[in-house]
DNA sequence: CGTGATTACTCATAATGTTGAGTATGCTCA
DNA sequence: TGAGCATACTCAACATTATGAGTAATCACG
């Protein structure tokens, strides 16, 4: 029952179609949850059936018709219940860490390459997140925005995503460097 | 096929029973993967059937008998294959982030409490990880250990876990503080 | 002497997440 | 003019993870 609440939380940004949500939950932007389009469409159907969101059809001329969903009062109440229930601990679960853990028994080259690739991906996300944060806070500085802006939830979670990616980029870069030195693999992996 | 490789990587530390692995993959220690005992026992059975690990029974007088597993050559080869295949991106997937994302539409108290609780949990993990790192490197400093120690994979992944938890503790603390100020909830939540 | 924690493991089922294959239309760019 | 991309969504099958309920012995605590 977790995607359920992630979708509700995302819909607080305003009415949205499955397709738009799918983009938001995809690799690029998902700073607080990740899901594939198929899951989202399914979840939206269930949420509507349960009365937690309501959809309205939008007939389009030039594009396929779509349905825009928004959170109902029952949905808000459900989110409130969710927020009060105890959160389960979050874990890192990452293929790349498994590979690094085993690196002493493997040929390091592939691992180094993947660390460097991951660092680049993280750098791209950092860029996206920084732009988003800047756009959100507008002219005021961060402190001022956080104390008086009218919607800070998305900002706060994006901050977390940003720091996570910065940490990822740093660790991947440093780890790749250490392994390169140890195993004499050139920098131009 | 991911737990599979996590188990293989964990067994590189040396022969281990399902029970011991279960502790290592549990909340406290799992700095590179997380799994429940039931999953591990199942996976160990499959790994043995596939010849990637081999078990040997140890008959104990005072405790139930157990089976210790170690990685075979085929298992090592499988890990090598895994390391060379491209890693799928890692995502944060955390209930608490969902709650923070939605906090503007909720009563903030419960969210603040959970942020503070999470910060404490993270602090405890930081402690565990720091001790582990210190024990691993022994007398030499980190740089020296990383360039000449004989097994650095576990050290590197634990570093990642450490930083992740530090980031968690910082962000949770700061976020709780911001929300406390905004919503006038006392520090003694 | 019995309550609860630790060691050591198993089985079944439910919930979640991933993969693959479709359907359909229209827009843009070469 | 046709290849590829964006919009917009659906269905089915599979893989992975999580949950709940047991079994059974020993040990430490009061």
* Tens-digit pLDDT profile for residues A43-90: 999 999 999 999 999 888 888 889 999 999 999 999 999 999 998 888
Secondary element (H or E) of residue B71? strand B66-71
Nearest to B9 among A8, A32, A98 (CB): A98
Whether A93 sits inside 8 A of B153 (CB atoms) is no
pLDDT band at A189 (very low <50, low <70, confident <90, very high): very low
Whether B150 sits inside 8 A of A182 (CB atoms) is no
In this complex, the answer to whether residue A36 has its CB under 7 A from any atom of chain D, a nucleic strand, is: no
Residues of A in contact with B86 (CB under 8 A): 114
pLDDT in tens, B126-144: 999 999 999 999 999 999 9
Residue matched to tokens 């026992």? B41
Distance from residue B26's CA to nucleotide C7's C1', rounded to whole Å: 16
Question: Stretch A118-142: mean pLDDT, rounded?
Answer: 93
CA torsion, ordered B135, B136, B138, B143, to nearest 10 deg: -130
Q: Please report the residues numbered 85 through 114 in chain B whose beta carbons come closer than 8 angstroms to any beta carbon of chain A.
A: 86-107, 110-111, 114
Structure tokens at A60: 């389009």
- Mean pLDDT, all residues of chain B: 93
Long-range CB contacts (within 8 A, 24+) of A145-153 = A146/B178, A146/B182, A147/B178, A147/B181, A147/B182, A150/B104, A151/B104, A152/B103, A152/B104, A152/B178, A152/B182, A153/A9, A153/A12, A153/B100, A153/B101, A153/B102, A153/B103, A153/B104, A153/B105
Inform me whether the pLDDT recorded for B188 exceeds 90. no
Q: In degrees rounded to 5, what are phi and psi of residue A2?
A: -110, -45
Task: State how far the alpha carbon of B107 is from the alpha carbons of B82, B113, B188, in Å.
Answer: 46, 11, 17
pLDDT band at A1 (very low <50, low <70, confident <90, very high): confident
pLDDT band at B187 (very low <50, low <70, confident <90, very high): low
Q: Which of B117, B43, B147 is nearest to A179 (CA)?
A: B147
pLDDT band at B189 (very low <50, low <70, confident <90, very high): very low
- Mean pLDDT, all residues of chain A: 92
């Amino acid at each position: 029952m977790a995607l359920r609440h992630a979708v509700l939380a995302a819909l607080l940004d305003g009415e949205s179609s499955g397709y738009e949500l799918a983009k938001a939950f995809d690799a690029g932007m998902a700073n607080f949850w990740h899901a594939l389009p198929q899951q989202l469409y399914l979840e939206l159907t269930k949420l509507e059936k349960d009365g937690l969101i309501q959809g309205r059809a939008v007939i389009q001329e030039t594009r396929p018709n779509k349905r825009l969903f928004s959170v109902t009062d029952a949905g808000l109440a459900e989110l409130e219940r969710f927020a009060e229930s105890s959160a389960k601990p979050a874990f890192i679960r990452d293929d790349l860490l498994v590979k690094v853990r085993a690196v002493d028994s493997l040929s390091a080259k592939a691992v180094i390459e993947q660390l460097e690739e991951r660092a680049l991906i993280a750098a791209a996300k950092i860029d996206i997140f920084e732009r988003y944060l800047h756009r959100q806070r507008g002219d005021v500085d961060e402190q001022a925005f956080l104390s008086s802006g009218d919607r800070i939830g998305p900002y706060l979670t994006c901050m977390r995503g940003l720091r996570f990616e910065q940490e990822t980029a740093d660790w991947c870069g440093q780890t790749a460097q250490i392994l390169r030195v140890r195993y004499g693999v050139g920098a131009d992996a």
